[in-house]
Chain A
Amino acid sequence: MKVLTVPLELRQELSLEPEYAMGYQIGRAKIPSGRIVRGYILNSSIFVSISDVEQAKQDTNVRLLLGLGLISAELNVALKSVRETEKADVIELERRPVSSLKGVRTVKSAELRNFSARLEEVLAGRTGAAKDAPITSTERNEIFRRFSHFKNDFRVTSSRGLSAGTFATTGVDAIHVKTGMDAVHRYALPDKRPANQRFSIAPPESTPLQRGIAQPAYGETGGGIEVIFVDGSPDNTVTGPVEIPER
């Protein structure tokens, strides 16, 4: 199964377009090989070819995997067998014929946030820790956050960069962190004082990065997305900290 990540500039355009059904759009994407492929677009951020979904459905083991809950079983199966990711260059959406619509249900924003977070997990390389993940790279205009108990966080250099091997999280995942204690729980931190100093990191495109999920540790459940800036982040890419509530 191959999943294409949708470039950030395209995501913004797609998010303004109607869905084909709940949680997804259908479109044709030009893949890196130059081929045009028809597929599902999930959360305006990832593209899965329909033929790959059909193929995955034949795999009994894949069928047994747990569901995401909000999207159709076919897409669910597809996401659980993600093996590699590439970028889609161009996507042209298909409109769903109005006659094919059978009904409408209101989706709570909390459900959508949860769905989005699960998709981020998929993009983060399933459920493993960042240290065990392959080295990938940042996308253009991607934002990251780092939570610390310290205003003078020792990983932030005097020239406002990050030193090599520094942990952070994605901007999307950080939406879930409203307080310093949220960060302690979500990123399984050993220091039980609130990590209520929030730094923002805006690295250039293609900065080396490992993406994963914070594993349970120190009596915390973890589960947040963690990233490692393998070579750090260049000068003048870190701002803050902004102080958030402790609890």
Chain B
Amino acid sequence: MKTVHLNDRWKEILAQMPESGMGYQLIDVEFRSGRILAGLTVVNGEECQSDVEFDPNEIVDVRLHR
């Protein structure tokens, strides 16, 4: 499991979204390429845990995982 640090922009947005549990959120991340990584855990709105590496600068949207 790798930890990717999200940009401050996403941290601010995630702070306005409900948590999934104490201190974390389950999110879907969409990239500029159209690819989506679903069900990632992000801690404190900044540390995103993922099985695959990705460039946080390529993220165009984050939303809560349903």
Contact = CB atoms under 8 A, between A and B. Distances in A.
Do A and B come from the same complex? yes
Interface of A: 146-150, 153-155, 163-169, 183, 187-191, 195, 214, 217, 226, 228
**CB-CB nearest 7 A-B residue pairs:** A165-B18, A167-B22, A154-B45, A191-B43, A150-B44, A187-B22, A190-B41
B14 A154 contact: yes
Contacts of B19: 155, 165-167, 228
A149 B43 contact: yes
Contact of A147 (B14, B15, B17, B22): B22
B34 interface: no
Given A164-B16, A190-B43, A191-B43, A148 B21 contact: no
A190 B24 contact: yes
Which of B11, B16, B22, B46 has the most chain A CB within a 10 Å cutoff? B22
Interface of B: 11, 14-19, 21-24, 41, 43-47, 49
Given A191-B23, A195-B23, 17 more contacts: A146-B23, A147-B22, A147-B23, A149-B23, A149-B43, A153-B23, A154-B44, A154-B45, A155-B19, A164-B18, A165-B17, A188-B21, A190-B41, A191-B47, A214-B22, A226-B22, A228-B19
B11 A163 contact: no
A200 to B, nearest CB: 14
Most A CB atoms within 10 A — which of B19, B43, B46? Answer: B19
Nearest to B14: A154
A94 B47 CA distance: 56
Contacts of A150: 23, 44
Given A163-B16, A165-B17, A190-B49, A146 B44 contact: no
